[in-house]
């Protein structure tokens, strides 16, 4: 039977955490009303920004490193057809098993089958954006398999029956008092006298996880990089939980997006300088774990690598949007984004929030969404991105592909008609002065219908008392 090519598949709806159930403006409006959330986000992002600025300022060749990272990612995306089979061959030659998954559904089924084959009903997990994207925890739970998150922030989110709101710091929306309450309520055997001192909270989590590390036979991880040249997988982290998961269990299953491949071991030299400085504001990650296949008598004796597409090939097909796949998940763009700092991560409805989520999520899903409008286009995300992803230009491109409300189209057509004639422009300037009548404290916050569709989510500066032309004539 012949096969018919129907185009590049996107990430399917109904599985995983890419398809939000509310438009961004509605969800953001609720988040803006949460003053505690805004305080938590403002404090956390300001702290991370200051640490990043300090360690980036130590390097005279930071911009050259960014250029090198951009070039390496562009080369990799242009040669995925060669690099991915090379990675598969290298992993297989060293005792690993490689699986290919077109989407989240296939990836989840592969992992569930692999865990079932071991006869266990519990796994430990390293923090992984890929497994969160495909909704692996939910798929495992449906199969009767418990997944225990071992990253502290992910553990807080899991015990709190919550959703992550930041790529690097999933529980950034929680403060110490809230975390204490979650531990007291959900963590078995926790000391009832537990305080909200960070050291005591970390000790409670460590005691809870230690038994899991020592008794669980299967671990699941993501991957920061997969080296095509040698078949080596790399995970960077800060707590040591990853090192425990990657070395103690009998079976290790790694779920990796296909864009995480890098050509050679030497290429890590660039990314291992860019990533820690951009993500946690550190010169290097406290733990950098690398492994190549299986080593007899040392570490997991069975290793599976699941390579996931889930819409990435569709992103790669768009020349104007493909550089979103260059993202190394550092979250630097989130920490400088004024929209993210106020709305938080949950408003984006995707496991990828912030500026990178606003460009990556719509391309992975192929769905019409308001996310490309969740930006002021200030450009801070481009300046912070360690691999120079031009997110503002991509947002403008994606906005041009989304359907525009009839009122908005009519408004812009009217503006274009007015500005096409000097006489109409002068008349428009005079009429705009009427806006001062409805301005309050220098801003126009509400317009009558149908223009209210604009001020529902935006405000406008009050027109000045004197136009530029008037000022020029009177000087």
Q: Provide the pairing of β-strand 443-444 with 261-262.
A: unpaired
pTM of the model: 0.89
Distances (CA, A) of 140 to 110, 112, 137, 244: 11, 6, 5, 21
What integer pLDDT is reported at residue 7 of this predicted model? 56
Residue 450: CB partners within 8 Å, gap ≥ 6?
Answer: 407
The DSSP H or E segment spanning 237 is: strand 232-237
How many Å apart are CA 71 and CA 87, to the nearest integer? 20
Q: Which residues pair with 287 in a beta bridge?
A: 237
Whether residue 169 is preceded by a cis peptide bond, meaning omega within 30 degrees of 0, is no
How many Å apart are CA 275 and CA 272, to the nearest integer? 6
Token representation of residue 170 = 């999933």
How many Å apart are CA 102 and CA 172, to the nearest integer? 32
What integer pLDDT is reported at residue 20 of this predicted model? 87
Distances (CA, A) of 115 to 81, 102, 127, 137, 148: 29, 20, 18, 12, 14
The DSSP H or E segment spanning 149 is: strand 146-149
What is the chain's length?
A: 475
Q: Provide the pairing of β-strand 251-257 with 232-237.
A: unpaired
Quick check: 249 and 122 in contact, CB under 8 A? no
DSSP output for 159-221: HTT----SSS-TTTT--HHHHHHHHHHHSTT--TT--S-HHHHHHHHHHHHHHHHHH--EEEE
Closest of 362, 356, 350 to residue 391, by C-alpha: 356
DSSP E strand boundaries for 27-120: 97-101
How many Å apart are CA 362 and CA 365, to the nearest integer? 5
pLDDT tens for each residue of the chain, 475 residues long: 444 545 578 999 999 999 988 999 899 989 999 888 888 889 889 999 999 999 999 999 999 999 999 999 999 999 999 999 999 999 999 999 999 999 999 999 999 999 999 999 999 999 999 999 999 999 999 999 999 999 999 999 999 999 888 888 888 888 899 999 999 999 988 999 999 999 999 999 999 999 899 999 999 999 999 999 999 999 999 999 999 999 999 999 999 999 999 999 999 999 999 999 999 999 999 999 999 999 999 999 999 999 999 999 999 999 999 999 999 999 999 999 999 999 999 999 999 999 999 999 999 999 888 899 999 999 999 999 999 999 999 999 999 887 777 777 888 899 999 999 999 998 988 888 888 888 888 899 888 887 787 787 778 889 988 888 889 988 8
What integer pLDDT is reported at residue 6 of this predicted model? 52
What integer pLDDT is reported at residue 103 of this predicted model? 96
Token representation of residue 328 = 């190394």
User: 37-71: b or e for each residue (b if 16 or more CB lie within 10 Å)?
Assistant: bbebbeebbeebbeebeebbeeeeebeebbebbbe
What integer pLDDT is reported at residue 438 of this predicted model? 87
What integer pLDDT is reported at residue 1 of this predicted model? 41
Distances (CA, A) of 243 to 68, 150, 255: 29, 11, 16
Closest of 211, 185, 214, 180 to residue 198, by C-alpha: 180
How many Å apart are CA 250 and CA 300, to the nearest integer? 4
Compute φ and ψ for 184, nearest 5 degrees: -65, -35
4: helix, strand or coil: coil
What integer pLDDT is reported at residue 2 of this predicted model? 44
Token representation of residue 430 = 């005079």
């Amino acid at each position: 039977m012949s096969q018919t090519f129907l185009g590049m598949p996107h990430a399917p709806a109904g599985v995983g955490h890419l398809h939000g159930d509310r438009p961004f403006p509605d969800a953001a409006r609720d988040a803006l009303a949460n003053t505690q959330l805004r305080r938590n986000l403002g404090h956390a992002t300001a702290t991370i920004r200051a640490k990043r600025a300090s360690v980036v300022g130590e390097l005279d060749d930071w911009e050259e490193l960014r250029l090198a990272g951009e070039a390496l990612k562009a080369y990799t995306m242009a040669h995925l057809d060669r690099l991915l089979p090379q990675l598969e061959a290298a992993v297989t030659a060293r005792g690993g098993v490689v699986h290919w998954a077109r989407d989240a559904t296939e990836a989840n089924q592969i992992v569930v089958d692999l865990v079932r084959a071991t006869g266990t009903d519990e796994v430990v997990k390293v923090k992984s954006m890929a497994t969160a994207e495909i909704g692996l925890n939910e798929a495992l739970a449906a199969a009767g398999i418990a997944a225990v998150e071992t990253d502290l922030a992910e553990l807080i989110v899991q015990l709190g029956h919550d959703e992550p709101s930041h790529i690097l710091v999933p529980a950034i929306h929680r403060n110490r008092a809230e975390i204490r309450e979650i531990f007291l309520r959900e963590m078995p055997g926790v000391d009832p006298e537990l305080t909200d001192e960070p050291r005591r909270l970390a000790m409670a989590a460590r005691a809870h996880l230690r038994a899991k590390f020592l008794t669980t036979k299967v671990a699941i991880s993501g991957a920061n990089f997969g080296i095509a040249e040698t078949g080596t997988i790399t995970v960077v982290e800060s707590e040591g939980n990853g090192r425990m998961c990657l070395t103690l269990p009998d079976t290790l299953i790694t779920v990796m997006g296909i864009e995480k491949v890098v050509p050679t071991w030497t290429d890590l030299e660039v990314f291992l300088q860019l990533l820690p400085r951009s993500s946690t504001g550190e010169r290097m990650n406290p733990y950098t774990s690398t492994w190549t296949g299986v080593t007899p008598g040392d570490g997991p004796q069975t290793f599976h690598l699941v390579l996931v597409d889930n819409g990435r090939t569709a992103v790669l097909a768009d020349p104007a949007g493909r550089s979103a796949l260059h993202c190394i998940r550092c979250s630097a763009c989130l920490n400088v984004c004024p929209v993210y700092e106020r709305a938080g991560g949950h408003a984006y409805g995707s496991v990828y929030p912030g500026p990178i989520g606003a460009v990556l999520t719509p391309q992975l899903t192929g769905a019409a969404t308001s996310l490309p409008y969740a930006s002021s286009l200030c450009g801070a995300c481009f300046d912070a991105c360690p691999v120079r992803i031009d997110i503002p230009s991509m947002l403008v491109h994606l906005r041009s592909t989304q359907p525009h409300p009839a009122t908005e189209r009519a408004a812009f057509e009217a503006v274009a008609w007015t500005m096409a004639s000097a006489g109409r422009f002068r008349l428009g300037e005079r009429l705009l002065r009427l806006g001062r009548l409805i301005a309050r404290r220098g801003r126009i916050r509400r317009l009558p219908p149908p223009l209210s569709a604009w001020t529902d989510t935006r405000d406008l500066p009050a027109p000045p008392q004197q136009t530029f032309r008037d000022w020029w004539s009177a000087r």
